[in-house]
Structure formats: structure tokens, C-alpha cells
């Protein structure tokens, strides 16, 4: 079982790195980028064989460590592997 946790800043929280990326794309001639937000992806290899249980675990991991919920949101994707 694999979990992919996508972490990004909450809407409304200023993201100076994202803003700089958008500006740089504009400088390079890529038009039409209104906004960019930077985040991170954490991949976890899990021992669990049960999808629901895995999701519950990763949910707790995200809340307690992977994301800082004061400023960040997270999204979890569980991928079953054979």
C-alpha cells in the first residue's frame, strides 16, 4: 500500500515562493499564469493491507506531523499495490 500526501498552503495564506515562480514564468515569456502555489508531496510505503485503516493512519500522521494545519491543507491518496 502506498500513500501520497499532497501538502499546500491554505487559500488566503500568502505564498511568496509561489508568487516568485509565477513572476519568473512570466519573465520567461510564458503568458497566462495568473497564480502559482508551491507545495510538497510526501510518499509513504505502508505495511497495512487495509485501505480504510491506511487512510485513517495517514490522516493522523498528516494532522500530527506532515502538515502544519495552521497554514497548510493536505490531501491523501491511497494506492493499492499488488
Q: How far is the CB of 81 from another protein (least distance, A)?
A: 25
Q: Does position 79 bind another protein by CB under 8 A?
A: no
User: Rounded CA gap, 51 and 35, in Å?
Assistant: 35
Q: How far is the CB of 50 from another protein (least distance, A)?
A: 26
Instruction: List binders of another protein among 9-68 (CB under 8 A).
Output: 13-14, 16-17, 20, 64-66, 68
Q: How far is the CB of 9 from another protein (least distance, A)?
A: 8
Q: Give the H/E segment covering residue 41.
A: strand 39-45
Q: Give the H/E segment covering residue 2.
A: strand 2-9
3-state helix, strand, coil in the chain (%, to 5): 35, 30, 40
Site residues (CB under 8 A) for another protein? 13-14, 16-17, 20, 64-66, 68, 70-71
Amino acid at each position: 500500500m502506498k500513500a501520497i500526501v499532497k501538502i499546500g498552503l491554505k487559500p488566503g495564506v500568502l505564498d511568496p515562493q509561489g508568487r516568485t515562480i509565477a513572476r519568473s514564468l512570466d519573465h520567461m515569456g510564458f503568458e497566462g499564469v495568473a497564480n502559482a502555489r508551491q507545495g510538497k508531496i510526501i510518499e509513504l510505503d505502508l505495511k497495512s493491507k487495509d485501505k480504510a485503516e491506511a487512510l485513517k493512519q495517514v490522516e493522523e500522521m498528516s494532522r500530527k506531523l506532515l502538515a502544519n494545519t495552521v497554514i497548510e491543507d493536505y490531501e491523501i491518496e491511497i494506492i493499492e499495490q499488488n
